Structure formats: structure tokens, C-alpha cells
Structure 1
Amino acid sequence: MRRSETTSTGDRAGFLLVAIAGVYVAQSLVTGVAAQALPALLRSQGASLQQLGWLSLLMLPWALKFAWAPWIERWRLPAGSAARSRQMVLGGQLMLAALFALMAAGGGRQVGLVMVALSLAALLAASIDVACDGFAIEQSQPSLRGWVNVAQVGGSYAGLLLGGGLFLLVAQRWGMAQGCFLLASLIALLGLPWWFLRPGSVARSLTRRPASLSQAWRRPTVRRGLVLTILLAIGPRLVMGLTGAFLLDHGMPLEQLAWLQGAGGVLAGLTGALLGGLLVRRWQARVALVTALTLQALALLCLAGAVPLLMQAVAVWVFSMALSATFVANYTLLMRCADGPQPGVDFTLFQCADACMAVVLGIVGGWLAHRLGYSAVLGLAALALAMAGVAVYYRGTGPDLFSEKPSDADA
């Protein structure tokens, strides 16, 4: 009987992870299209670098989602009624698929329709993220939280690469309408597990304490975590939206770029995540983070120099790999910063701060590249990464934040 109950619990946990991972993949598909595929497609059609920089505004919903998160939480968990998490996430997924189907029906040639639909998709995906995060925390036991985090990070990275690579490949070969139809089908398929998901009961006492941004701001570790987030975002966020256009302008065909950002990006992301995990396990998170930042800076310096196209492609791959390793090490530190009475609220602040930096620095990077050229922007980004590495290595952002404690292994 106990073995049957254990098997049933394990099956439910596995199905929960599949459902949660599908949501994060779908959300990041939108980000991949907006941040990688669409800039490359528009650049191939003659758009200027300054115009490409404005596409970073599509990241605004992820930067501002904290503003409407309390409203979503109240709607998801109404007082005296059953939770609406499943209906809210499933409905949101279907609406997200419908938006991409609308873009496909429009042929993908009307830029105005694509921008409006992508803006709505970004707003919807960011809202689904709030509901899914709360649901995942409620439904997962402490022993399952690590796997939930793997599903979130891995799913998000996979979606980003699929949206930036697979969509770009399909759109280049068969047209943007076919690419939008493919994404609509994928998003609907990824939301299918939520139709069969049967959430467990949750003690409503978990919802009686509303989220408090003021309480988060009063905690010194949260403020230090925000400083760390901003410091580490300056370098990569300045150039992330320019790497595709950079390679295109230096002679790489669009189809090869799609493979580099797609299959090559998946390999870089998985390799970097594994490398980051091994470094954090082998050394302190601070040393792992400094190592990853150093690799990023070296890759950007290689891009800024006069090197052949093949070396430029390798440098972009190494940059992507090092960026993935940076995420692993950085999240380890930020989880310690958010380890308090309201970790979900605290970690959301870090996410929103990073998204704000992505919007601002994406515009600044496009403007600087238009005015000063690629080499100047790449050099500035490498300098910012080097300064961040020095700051992290020689100065902690909080009491014992970079030290390895016994409790950190549990986190």
C-alpha cells in the first residue's frame, strides 16, 4: 500500500513538473521571438540598428509585472472559493496560442499587426508567469522545489532558444506566417497537460498574508541582491540583442545564423548550465560567477577585434555558454538573498530589475551601435563585465553572501 501511494505521489510530481516546464517554455518562446528572431528578420529587411533597439520595449511586461501581481493573486485565490490556478494558466496558454495564430492568419507581413500581437503576447505571458510561480510554490513539497527550479530555468532557456532559432529558421525558409503557426501549435501542445492536471488541496492560510513590496525593500539582503542583479546585467544586456545583427552584417547568411542560435544555442545553454552547476558545486558560488563573467568578457573582446567570421561565431557561442553559467551561479546567490519570510516576492523583484535593465540597455546598446559601431559597444560591455567580476570577487553584496554554508546545500 505504501509503495502504491509512493508511486502515485511520484507520478503526480512528475506530471506537475511536465506541466510547469511547458508553461515556462511557452513564455520564453515569446521572449525568443521578440529578442532574437524578430530583430534578425527585420535587419535582413533593412531595419536600422536604432530601430532594432526599440524592440526591447517588448520586455516591459516582465519588468513591470510586480505592479499587477497582487491583482492576479487575488483572482487566482478568491476568498472562500476554490483556487483558479489551473483555469487561469490553461486559459492563458490558449489565448497565447490564439495570438500567434492571428499573426499567422495575417501572413506575418503586416509589421504593425505583428508588433501589437507580440505586445499582447508579452503582457499575457508575464501574467501567466505570476500565476504559475504561485501555483508551483503551493503544489510542490520542499523536496521537490529543486526540480521545480530546474523545470523553470531549463524550460525558460529552451523556449528562448526555440523562439529565437527554430522560429527564425522556419520563417526564413517558408515564411513568417508558417513560423507563427508553428509556435501557435507548440504553445497549445505545451498547455495540454494543464487540461488533465488535478492540483492538490492547499491550506488557505498560505494566502492570508498579502505580498508586501515595502517589507521586501526593508530587508538589507534584498537591496544587496538588487545591486548584484543590476551590476551583472549591464554587460550582457547591452549586447544580447546585437549579436545576431552583428553576424549578419559581417557576412553570415540568415539560415546559418538560425542554426547557430537554434541548435548551437541549445548546446551552449546546456553546456553552460552544466558548467555553472559543476563550478558552484566544486568551488564557491563567487568563484563560479567570476569565472563565468571572465569568459563572457573574453568572448566579447574577441568579437570586438578583427577576427574571421568563424571565430566570431565561436565567440558568440562561448558568450552564450558563459552567460548560461552566469545565470546558474547568480541564481544561487540571489536565492540566498531571497531566503526570508516572502521569497517569492523578493525573487520577483530581482526578475523585474533584470527585465528593466534589459529594456533600458537594449535601447542604449542599439543607439550606441548605431552611433559608435559594434566594436565600441562590445568593448564597453566587456569592461562592464570585468568591473562586475572585480566587484564580486573583492566585495560581497551581503553578510556571508558568497560563503558556502551548510544550509546552502539544502537550498
Structure 2
Amino acid sequence: MEQATLSDTLPPRTREQLATLLGISALYIGFGMTMGLIQGGFPAIMRAQGISLGAAGWLYALYLPLGVAFLWAPLVDRWRPPLLPPRLAWIVPMQLLAALTVAMVALLEGAAMGILFSMGLFVAFTMATMDIALDGVAVERIHSTWRPRAAACKLGALSTGAMIGGGAFVALFHSYGWKAIFLCYAASLLLLVLPVLLLMKEVPHAGLPNAMRRYAASLNALLRNPVQLKRLTLLTLTCCVIFPIAGLNRLMLLDLNVPIVQIGGIVGTLGPIAMLITAVISMPLMRRCGLSGALMAFTALALLAFAAMTIGFVRGQPWLAMSGAIAVGAAVSGIFVALSARILGWSRGAQPATDYAAFYGVGRFASTLATIAGAQMVSWISWPWFYASGALALLIITGLLRAPMAEKDE
């Protein structure tokens, strides 16, 4: 059961809650840009330049630091750096390091791939560490009545960032070139840290007792809790199903001979817009139909998207395949935003950053491996069979989610 804290027992202050949402949403936009570049940018660009499907799949390894960040999350909970407020002391320097490294990448066009890949891993590491601290801020400062809005805001911010990183940057890459694109990316990371500095005032640590604050955060504490372990297992299985089926679609479109500029301009833009719409409608849908109803609705949308992508690929109809790629992204986002509000509650306790990072991070890590494996799998079984397997797996995981994730289990 989740930890009840003083901030949940007191009525929320609307101004403080709005300031918190604005500050963390700006940083989530930058994080979404990074995810968009890793998931939808580099693999598609390199595939368009002629590398094999299997080799392009390995580029998703840049996502690994985002997936294993839970390993150093206890440090973020335990150590309070000086000078800045506790969480911001992690957020600000990590964001600045990421921006500086990206600016260096902008000046190293044509450098050896090993150097660029290493710098990309470092950017992913700094952004992952920033995200741990940012999630801790969200857990501590978002009132229980504001969690659905916080989950929707996070999806909206990540979608906006993905629209820029995986859409606009890809579409404009050939027009403006390496240097301009990466300098714009670095400048954006710098600008997006300003709202959290200007809007968020330091507050007590969400009313947690000092004894709990001295608690030694660790992953073992989470894994020894049978309820938390059950939740973690289900979330990980869910991520391993939903993220590969949403993350490999641009490679499918390239195999369908859709130009990369068209993929970036249409899918890279309309996809995040569809996710933004999902963020808006998911909260009232859950209030009206409950979690089970929302899961069923978004699963039905995903099945329709699978059908559209399969038919579009087999018949050589790019518009239908692109429509399915956009729709499946919205469906996956709807499934996950319904779970995100619960994760905020599950992480309320002595080690919020550690628990939150574990819930998200273990799933990210496992789904990254599943995405890499999925790219290799397509090389053997073809895209139609891949989507048929995805449909079956999604139906199974939706059935598992409906019972144990009911309100009474919260």
C-alpha cells in the first residue's frame, strides 16, 4: 500500500501545484526530445543511409542509460548535494552537462562513430539522472488529487519533446544540417531548465518524518515488498509489450520505401499530436469508465492500428501504414498514462526517487532489450507476423492488468 504523507492530508494549494506542474513539464519536454532522438531519430536516419535493419536496431542501445538509471537512483535519494535545494541540485547540473555535451557533438560532425556514440551515452546518462531527481520532485510535491493531471501533463510534455526530437529535428536535418540541429537541441535544454528555477519554491520534503528521510534508500527495500514486487513485475511485462510495438514502426515505413523526410514530417509530428490528444482524453475516460474500461478502449485502438499497419505494408499503401503507426503510438500512450498516475502513488514513501525510478527504469531497460530483439525478430518473421504476435501479447497483458490493477489494489 502507498505511503500517506502530510502533503496528501492537507488541501492542495492550486498556485503551488500549477507552478510545480509547469516547472517539471518544461524539463519533461527536454527529456522527451532526448527520447525522440534516440527512438525515432538516429535509427531512422542511419537506416535511410543504408545500414541493415538489424544494425539499426542496435542503435536503440543508446536508450540503455535511461533504462538502468534505477541502479543509481538510491544515491539521488541518499545524498543531498549542497548549494541548491536537494532535488534541484541534481536537476540543474545534469541538465547543464547534457547541454554542454550536445553542443560539443554539434562541433564534431564527421568524428569517429565510437566517439559520437560514447558522447550520446553520456547525454543519455545525464538526462536519466536528471529524470530521477525530477520524478522525485513530482512524487513529493504533487498532491494525491492532482496525480491524474500530473500524469497527463507528463505525457503531454514528453509528446511535445518527442515531436521536436523525433519529428522536427529529423524532418529538418537534411535542410539545416548536423551543426544547426544539435546546437538548437543544446540551447533548448538550457532554456527548459529556467521554469523550474523561476517557479518552484523550496518546500519541506512533502511532510515525511525526519526518521524516514534518514532511511537508507535501496532497491532491496522495494524488492522485499511483495506488493511492490508484484506491481513492478506487471509494469515490466507491460513495457516489454507496448514499447517495441510502438517503437519500431518507422523502420517498417522505411522498408515500405516511405521517404525519411515524410516519416519525420508526418509521423514524427502527427504521432506526438495524437499522444497529446490522448493525454487530454485519458483522464476523463478513466473517471467515466474506470481503469479497466480505459485499458479496453486503448487496446481496441491498438488492434485497429495493427490491422492498418499490416494491410498497409502488405498492399503497399504508405498512407494506411502511417495512419496505423500514429494510432498505435496514441494507444500505447493511453495505456501507460493510466498506469503513470498509480506509479506516483506507489512511490510515496521513504525513497520516492528510488521507487519511482525502479517502476519506470526496470520497464525501460527490459523494453529496450525487447525492442532490440524485436528488430532482429522482424528480420526472420516479417512485419505482418510481428504485428500479429504483438496483438496477441497485448491482449494477454491487458487481461493481466485489469484485475490486479483495480482501484481496490491501490
- Tell me, yes or no, if structure 1 residue 256 matches structure 2 residue 258: no
Partner of 2:326: 317
- Tell me, yes or no, if structure 1 residue 327 matches structure 2 residue 336: yes
Distance 1:333 1:129 in 2: 18
Residue pair 2:167, 2:264 contacting (<8 A) in 1 also: yes
Partner of 2:295: 289
Letter in 2 for 1:390: G
Instruction: Provide Cα deviations, 1:13-57, integer angstroms capped at 9, x if missing partner.
Output: 544433222221112211111111111100110111111111222
Partner of 1:112: 114
- Tell me, yes or no, if structure 1 residue 28 matches structure 2 residue 32: yes
Unaligned stretches of 5+ residues in structure 2: 1-12
Partner of 1:348: 357
Unaligned stretches of 5+ residues in structure 1: 1-8
Runs of 4+ in 1 over 6 A off after TM superposition: none
The structure 2 residue matched to 1:233, chosen from 231, 239, 254, is 239
Partner of 1:127: 129
Residue pair 2:24, 2:134 contacting (<8 A) in 1 also: yes
TM-score (norm. length: structure 2): 0.86
Distance 2:141 2:320 in 1: 47
Greater length-normalized contact order (CA 8 Å, ≥ 6 residues apart): 2
Residue pair 1:272, 1:321 contacting (<8 A) in 2 also: yes
Distance 2:40 2:73 in 1: 27
Partner of 2:3: none
Partner of 2:172: 170
Distance 2:393 2:191 in 1: 41
Partner of 1:217: 223
Distance 1:384 1:137 in 2: 31
Secondary structure of 2:359's partner? helix
Letter in 2 for 1:86: L
Query: How has the CA–CA distance of structure 1 residues 403 and 190 changed in structure 2, closer, same or farther, with 3 Å as cutoff?
Result: closer
Distance 1:30 1:236 in 2: 19
Instruction: Provide Cα deviations, 1:328-366, integer angstroms capped at 9, x if missing partner.
Output: 223345456556665554332220121122221111111
Letter in 2 for 1:304: T
TM-score (norm. length: structure 1): 0.85
Secondary structure of 2:388's partner? helix
Q: 1:96 deviation in Å?
A: 1.0
Partner of 1:369: 378
Partner of 1:5: none
Identity of aligned residues (%): 25
Letter in 2 for 1:178: A
Partner of 1:17: 21
Matching of residues 125-204 of structure 1 within 5 Å = 125-140=127-142, 147-196=149-198, 199-202=201-204
Residue pair 1:221, 1:338 contacting (<8 A) in 2 also: no
Distance 1:378 1:163 in 2: 26
Q: Supply the RMSD in Å over aligned alpha carbons.
A: 2.7
Number of aligned residues: 391
Secondary structure of 1:130's partner? helix
The structure 2 residue matched to 1:71, chosen from 70, 75, 80, is 75
Letter in 1 for 2:35: T
The structure 1 residue matched to 2:284, chosen from 278, 283, 288, is 278
Residue pair 1:161, 1:261 contacting (<8 A) in 2 also: no
Letter in 2 for 1:221: V
